[in-house]
Amino acid sequence: MNALLTDLYELTMAAGYFEAGKAGEKGTFELFIRRLPANRNFVVAAGLAQAVDYLRNLRFTEGEIAYLRGLPQFARVSPPFFDALRNLRFTGDVFAMPEGTVAFAGEPLLTVRAPLMEAQIAETYLLATITFQTMIATKAARVAEAAAGRAVIEFGTRRAHSPEAGVLAARAAYIGGCAGTSNTLAGHRYGIPVYGTAAHSWVQAFESETEAFRRLQQVLGPATVHLVDTYDTLEGARQAAALGGPLWGVRLDSGNLFELAPAVRRILDEAGLPEARIMASGELNEYKILELVAAGVPIDAFGVGTELATSADAPNLGAVYKLVELDADGRKRFPAKFSEEKQTLPGSKQVFRFADRDMVGCSWECPSCAPGAAMAEALLRPVMIRGELAEPLPDVEAARARARASLARLPEALHHLAAADPPYPVRYSAELLALQEETRRQLQGASV
């Protein structure tokens, strides 16, 4: 399957843990985003379903093991390690925020507690899966909020970072708030609504624009969207309008939308087609959409491609997967890093969501348990227990609904496209800070 889809050092470390007798020692790793990009006030968690698929199917084929044995890095590794790889299955526990949960920097999106060898090998795939979809769902939420109720269709597969990234971007964009996608496989695989009618090549393939429009209407009926900007947008709109219904409407893919959309609207209205809608596309993003909406430009739906499928203004999230707890036969240790640049807080954590703030605490805390304490939702939920799915995962519709509800709870300032100041309040619990201090003392003691 995808067992080799990992950084080689995960596998050399796995061999090293095995040779050092530590392969079965349990490690807890947390996946979190260190710092949000400058223009993000939150992220929308996504990608968990693919992460779980990976863990459930993690196994090495004979061919993959033979490949590893032939690498110089494994020349000194003893045969029992390769037997262990042959038998490797993911047997650990996974806790995660359900897809669609709004999250912030420093909050674990996913926690893996598993034998060191298993948890280490999974690092690369889990990071790539969760981070990418989270990034796209987040971008989609921004774009959808800017569109203020108008439908946004994800159009970006051709510009995505590989075709498969396009499929996953469509999935994540739907979770984040898009109404659908142009990616047909995403529709088939995940049940996402799919949209699409015709490109400029369609218009060009016929002797005249009118002929192209007429033919499209014969095939698509009420789903027809005439792309009117191949030659001259207003002339194209007039030709589309002259044909009348049935049609959904027209699409503008270039030009000054502030001028063209009202002019096209008038053409449609004057032709007795007030129901015909206008879709706009062409290098759109949340900022341009916000301007168009603010100006009251008569656009009914947006198609967003490149910017959405690549999160072009923030094309990566600095997500990491850090070892925070070790358990060797019940003896616990708490690793941590204290360099100025890259601190890691020790211990397995939980994220508690109060009405107006989040608190990151130790996983065993219960801040709502004291009499009179405020209610908090524990965001990290059991997903896999001893390698088995704890319960069926929510589907994309449920994830999308969760994102909508989760976003609706955010204060007004967080919905703006610019950075909120102050950012959403995320605090560490007193118990977690005490554990950090104790760990620091112990590590300093050990290093003296």
Q: How far is the CB of 233 from its own copies (least distance, A)?
A: 8
Q: How far is the CB of 180 from its own copies (least distance, A)?
A: 9
Q: Name the helix (H) or strand (E) containing 326.
A: strand 319-328
Paired with 362 in beta bridges are 349
What three-state secondary structure class fits 327?
strand
Residue where the block lists tokens 């044909």: 243
- Judged by CB, which is closer to its own copies: 144, or 170? 170
Q: Which residues contact 150 (CB under 8 A, 6 or more apart)?
A: 293, 299, 300, 301, 302
- Judged by CB, which is closer to its own copies: 185, or 410? 185
* Among the listed residues 135, 142, 103, 193, the one whose alpha carbon sits nearest the alpha carbon of residue 309: 135
- Judged by CB, which is closer to its own copies: 7, or 404? 7
Q: How far is the CB of 268 from its own copies (least distance, A)?
A: 21
- Judged by CB, which is closer to its own copies: 310, or 406? 310
d(CA 118, CA 110): 15
- Judged by CB, which is closer to its own copies: 344, or 406? 344
B/e letters for 324-362, b = 16+ CB within 10 Å, e = fewer, are bbbeeeeeeebbbeeeeeeebbbbbbbbbbbeeebbbbb
Q: How far is the CB of 258 from its own copies (least distance, A)?
A: 15
Q: How far is the CB of 245 from its own copies (least distance, A)?
A: 14
d(CA 324, CA 333): 9
CB 23 within 8 A of CB 111: no
- Judged by CB, which is closer to its own copies: 206, or 428? 206
- Judged by CB, which is closer to its own copies: 85, or 359? 85
The alpha carbon torsion through 50, 55, 57, 61 (nearest 10 deg) reads 120
- Judged by CB, which is closer to its own copies: 73, or 368? 73
- Judged by CB, which is closer to its own copies: 56, or 159? 159
Q: Verify cis geometry, omega within 30 degrees of 0, for the bond prior to 246.
A: yes
| CA 47 to each of CA 128, 255, 348, 376: distance values in angstroms, whole numbers, following the listed order | 9, 36, 21, 24
CB 48 within 8 A of CB 55: no
What three-state secondary structure class fits 349?
strand
d(CA 111, CA 383): 10
d(CA 260, CA 228): 11
- Judged by CB, which is closer to its own copies: 225, or 399? 225
Q: How far is the CB of 107 from its own copies (least distance, A)?
A: 19
- Judged by CB, which is closer to its own copies: 86, or 161? 161
Q: How far is the CB of 370 from its own copies (least distance, A)?
A: 34
d(CA 398, CA 220): 30
- Longest CA span, the chain: 85
- Judged by CB, which is closer to its own copies: 164, or 388? 164
Q: How far is the CB of 428 from its own copies (least distance, A)?
A: 20
Q: How far is the CB of 313 from its own copies (least distance, A)?
A: 9
Q: How far is the CB of 424 from its own copies (least distance, A)?
A: 24
* Among the listed residues 13, 29, 56, the one whose alpha carbon sits nearest the alpha carbon of residue 119: 29
Q: How far is the CB of 366 from its own copies (least distance, A)?
A: 28
Report which residue type is found at 210: T
Q: How far is the CB of 113 from its own copies (least distance, A)?
A: 14
**Ranges assigned E (strand) in 329-398:** 331-333, 337-338, 343-344, 349-353, 358-362, 377-378, 381-385, 388-389
Among positive and negative, which fits the CA dihedral 154, 313, 293, 237? negative
